[in-house]
Amino acid sequence: MLKKILIANRGEIAVRIVRACAEMGIRSVAIFTEPDRHALHVKRADEAYSMGEDPLAGYLDARRIVNLAVETGCDAIHPGYGFLSENSEFARICQERGITFIGPKADVIAKMGDKTQARKSMIAAGVPVTPGSEDNLADIEEAVVLANSIGYPVMLKATSGGGGRGIRRCDSEQELRDQYPRVISEATKAFGSAEVFLEKCIVDPKHIEVQILADSQGDAIHLYERDCSIQRRNQKLIEIAPSPQLTPEQRSYVGELAVKAAKAVGYENAGTVEFLVTGNDIYFMEMNTRVQVEHTITEQITGVDIVREQIRVASGLPLSYRQEDISFRGYALQFRINAEDPKNNFLPSFGRITRYYAPGGPGVRTDTAIYTGYTIPPYFDSMCLKLVVWALNWEDALDRGARALADMRVQGVKTTANYYQEILKNDEFRSGFFNTSFVPNHPELLNYSDKRAPSEIALAIAAAIAAHAAV
Ligand code: ADP
Ligand code: ADP
Ligand code: MG
């Protein structure tokens, strides 16, 4: 078993990994850049090292991070998500220096991180992909010819894209011509690669993804699916496990497809296979070769600790479970609480958390790195907390979500919490049948009041008086 792990990340996921290490008796090493000196992951890890003044550079300096792992006697690095987690060069440097990279092999990361390569591998494995490019596009004229044969609308996508960026829907040739240079420039800036490709745009699809786990012995299993159809600008806001809108047949089919995909590329460790579902059609979209933000909800319904399994598998141990050992119970929802102002076009709202009160009670889990007095720096993602609720049935899970969101207090910055309360009241959402157009189709859900209702304040005052009287 691994003995000491360097965590090449920050924020809630770094804290999540520290927690797994602590439970497994493994020493944890944090890295931080100066703006993060007072961050929670720094306080919680057994050791922490500064990577310099620049807010971001230190988290992205592959050679320096691997050197530090060697110098501090670590035997492994956990990359978390984002940053270097899908950087095959980083995995390769780890391998060269005798440090275990907690994830798949470098060549598998490279193959799946390139979306056109991944499509080729899936076609070869017999996994259905969305109709589209066989290769990266050479120029706009090739794009136009291909789009005409696929039929509009099409999706123009950055080959190395991620985090919902570098994707544009084009409804006509004119739009394609307009968007082409924009996507290339966005892809170059964000991902350092100008490669783009085309896919048929699946109209109003459901985003269904399957969590998989694979070991170095060649075994691979799935932990069922997550429904991430509640998105804004291709970014997930609320995730649900299992999907309330799959038939049992679709569920087992998509699970088997994901395992087939993983085995076909010699996958090791935890990963996610993402699909688009429309009617009875299921298409492979991409594979994320890392732990995902929403792994939490799968943990809640299956009871499997995914980060622990990642560490065990990276240690060379076989999977702790066979497919028939995996079952799920109830429903879990994750709310990505972002420090953003939904009423102001989701503008990031960084600053000092003047008060944080974590919701609790049955079926509630929070994964966060904020605390009262912490200042959210402006250099990173705006997601500041993941609120996860679980209950035995769908309606109870929704009600528990509303209750937990109401319990929670995050003051000093604007958050998406109140907006999620509106989504939870919506009948279409509550019906369990929705697709990726839900958020854009419901702009009226942004018309809520940020102030606490007078009745709520009156109740709070009454409760305070009653409590005082009882003493
Ligand atoms: P998940 O796929 O786990 O649901 P996201 O898509 O929100 O999560 O991505 C998690 C984090 O990783 C975000 O901060 C996102 O910006 C970052 N990220 C994902 N893919 C890439 C990529 N290809 N390049 C750079 N950053 C990425
Ligand atoms: P990322 O790497 O940024 O996560 P994905 O390829 O996973 O990019 O796509 C992100 C989201 O964009 C999907 O969840 C879906 O909502 C939308 N999307 C991507 N491709 C298509 C498509 N071909 N048709 C319709 N929607 C798509
Ligand atoms: Mg994706």
What does pLDDT average to over the chain? 96
The confidence band for 399, taking pLDDT boundaries of 50, 70 and 90, is: very high
pLDDT per position as a tens digit, 145-199: 999 999 999 999 999 999 899 999 999 999 999 999 999 999 999 999 999 999 9
pLDDT per position as a tens digit, 242-291: 999 999 999 999 999 999 999 999 999 999 999 999 999 999 999 999 99
pLDDT per position as a tens digit, 122-145: 999 999 999 999 999 999 999 999
| CA 158 to ligand 2 center in whole angstroms | 11
HSE-up of residue 449 (Cα within 13 Å, Cβ side) = 5
User: For ligand 2, is residue 359 a contact (CB within 6 Å)?
Assistant: no
Q: Are 220 and 340 contained in the same domain? A: yes
- Is residue 245 in some structural domain? yes
Q: Which of the ligands is closest to the CA of residue 237? A: 1
Cis omega (within 30 of 0) for bond into 153: yes
pTM of the prediction? 0.94
pLDDT for the residue numbered 470: 63
| CA 234 to ligand 2 center in whole angstroms | 6
User: For ligand 2, is residue 131 a contact (CB within 6 Å)?
Assistant: no
Q: Are 70 and 174 contained in the same domain? A: no
Q: Are 293 and 172 contained in the same domain? A: no
Atom of ligand 1 nearest to the CA of 291: 3
DSSP letters, 150-189, are H-SSEEEEETT--TT-SEEEE-SHHHHHHHHHHHHHHHHH
pLDDT for the residue numbered 454: 58
Contact residues of ligand 1, CB 6 A cut-off:
81-82, 86, 160-164, 191, 235-236, 288, 292-294, 381
Task: Report d(CA 14, CA 30) in Å as an integer.
Answer: 8
Q: Are 217 and 235 contained in the same domain? A: yes
pLDDT per position as a tens digit, 195-230: 999 999 999 999 999 999 999 999 999 999 999 999
Tell me which of 200, 233, 260 is where a domain ends.
200
Q: Are 214 and 139 contained in the same domain? A: no
| CA 168 to ligand 2 center in whole angstroms | 9
| CA 235 to ligand 2 center in whole angstroms | 9
Q: Are 222 and 237 contained in the same domain? A: yes
pLDDT for the residue numbered 234: 95
Check if 233 is active-site. Answer: no
Q: Are 210 and 175 contained in the same domain? A: no
User: At 352, which amino acid appears?
Assistant: R
Helix (H, G, I), strand (E, B) or coil at 87: coil
| CA 54 to ligand 3 center in whole angstroms | 28
Tell me which of 200, 218, 243 is where a domain ends.
200
Helix (H, G, I), strand (E, B) or coil at 68: helix
Task: Report d(CA 326, CA 328) in Å as an integer.
Answer: 7
Q: Are 193 and 282 contained in the same domain? A: no
pLDDT for the residue numbered 385: 98
Tell me which of 200, 231, 246 is where a domain ends.
200
| CA 31 to ligand 2 center in whole angstroms | 32
Task: Report d(CA 230, CA 336) in Å as an integer.
Answer: 11
The confidence band for 462, taking pLDDT boundaries of 50, 70 and 90, is: confident
- Is residue 254 in some structural domain? yes
Q: Say which residues have a Cβ less than 8 Å from residue 362's Cβ, sequence separation at least 6.
A: 400
Q: Are 86 and 142 contained in the same domain? A: no
Q: Which entry of 10, 27, 168, 290 is annotated as an active-site residue?
A: 290
Q: Which of the ligands is closest to the CA of residue 436? A: 2
| Segments in 265-348 forming alpha helices (H) | 295-302, 306-314
Q: Are 14 and 91 contained in the same domain? A: yes
pLDDT beyond 60 at 453: no
Domain count, the chain: 3
Q: Are 150 and 266 contained in the same domain? A: no
Residue 442: domain span: 206-446
Atom of ligand 1 nearest to the CA of 160: 23
User: For ligand 2, is residue 401 a contact (CB within 6 Å)?
Assistant: no
Q: Are 196 and 245 contained in the same domain? A: no
Q: Residue 139's domain is classified under what CATH number? A: 3.30.1490.20
Atom of ligand 2 nearest to the CA of 202: 24
Q: Say which residues have a Cβ less than 8 Å from residue 257's Cβ, sequence separation at least 6.
A: 127, 128, 210, 273, 275, 282, 284
Residue nearest to atom 15 of ligand 1 (CA): 163
- Is residue 216 in some structural domain? yes
Q: Are 410 and 404 in contact (CB under 8 A)?
A: no
pLDDT per position as a tens digit, 38-68: 999 999 999 999 999 999 999 999 999 999 9
- Is residue 456 in some structural domain? no
Atom of ligand 2 nearest to the CA of 228: 14
pLDDT for the residue numbered 466: 76
Residue nearest to atom 21 of ligand 1 (CA): 162
